[in-house]
Amino acid sequence: MATASSGVQKLLQVGTKIVAVGRNYAAHAKELGNAVPKVKMGSFCFYFQIFFLITIQIGILKLQLSSGAGFVPQTNLVLLGEWRHYRDSHPLESLDHEVELAVVIGQKARDVPQTTAMDYVGGYALALDMTAREIQASAKSAGLPWSVAKGQDTFTPISSVLPKSAVPDPDNLELWLKVDGDMRQKGSTKDMIFKIPYLISHISSIMTLFEGDVILTGTPQGVGPVKVGQKITAGITDLLDVHFNVEKRRRPGSY
C-alpha cells in the first residue's frame, strides 16, 4: 500500500470547496435512470448546463488537528483513521454509498488548459459521497436544489491523501466498496466519461480552484443503501483501503 507524506496531508487544511461531478460513469447514470452525458468537442456549454451546476457541492474545510486521529471534521468532510459515519437522528429511509476517486488540487487554478491541467494536481484520495436518496429525489421532483441530500455533516468521508507521484496512472485505477463484506461497487477510472484534465480545465473556467480544493470525479455502478450497524470498507486496489462503521448520531437530549 502507498504511504502519504505529512506535507500532502496539509492540503486539505486549506481547501475551500468540494466540487462533485455527477453522471461521470455511464453504467451508474443508467442504473439511476439518468441520461448519459456525451463529450461534445469545442462545447463546454453542454456539460455546464446539463449537470455541472446541479452537482456542485460546497463545503468550507475548516479542520483542526486531533492527536492520533487525523482531523476533526467541522463540516460534511470527515478525515479519520477509523472512519465513523453518523446518520442524523431524523429518519433517512435510503442513505446510499457512492465511492469515488477524489482529486486534490495542489495550486491555484484558473482557466487552465487541458494540456497542463495535471500540473495542478497535488494528490489523490478515496472519498465517499454519501447521499440521502429520498431527500434528493424529492428535491429533484420539486425542481429544488438538493445540497441537503449530500451536504450533511460527515457525508463526505475521505482517506489520507496520496501524493501524485504514488499514482502514475489515475486513468486506470480500480475502485471498490463492500458493505459487511459483500461487494457492492467495483469499477475502473478508465470508464470515466470526463477525464481529470477535462474536469480541471472546465471547472477552472467557471470558478477558481484553490490549493486543497477537492474534485469528486463520479462513482461507478452499484450504489445502494446502508443502515446503522453496518460496516463499509472501500479502497483503491494496491494503493489504499479504508473502513468505517455506520452509526446513528444522537442529538443532545435524545435517547
> What CATH homologous superfamily does 6-248 map to?
Fumarylacetoacetase-like, C-terminal domain (3.90.850.10)
In whole angstroms, what is the distance from residue 142 CA to residue 45 CA?
A: 24
Q: What is the pLDDT of residues 47-95, one digit of tens each?
A: 332 223 233 333 322 222 222 222 223 344 444 333 444 444 455 667 8
Query: For strand 156-157 and strand 77-78, is the pairing parallel, antiparallel, or unpaired?
Result: parallel
235 bridge partner residues? 176, 241
H helix or E strand, kind and range, residue 202 = helix 196-206
In whole angstroms, what is the distance from residue 142 CA to residue 145 CA?
A: 9
pLDDT at 49: 26
Q: What is the pLDDT of residues 156-187, one digit of tens each?
A: 888 889 999 999 999 999 999 999 999 999 99
In whole angstroms, what is the distance from residue 20 CA to residue 17 CA?
A: 10
Span 131-152, average pLDDT: 81
Q: What is the pLDDT of residues 6-29, one digit of tens each?
A: 567 777 777 788 888 878 887 665
- Which region among 84-88, 111-115, 138-142, 172-176 has the lowest average model confidence (pLDDT)? 84-88
Q: What is the pLDDT of residues 197-237, one digit of tens each?
A: 999 999 999 889 999 999 999 999 999 999 888 999 999 98
Alpha carbon of 170 to those of 49, 125, 164, 175, 208: distances in Å?
Answer: 27, 11, 9, 11, 23
The three grid cell numbers given for residue 81, joined into one nine-digit string: 483513521
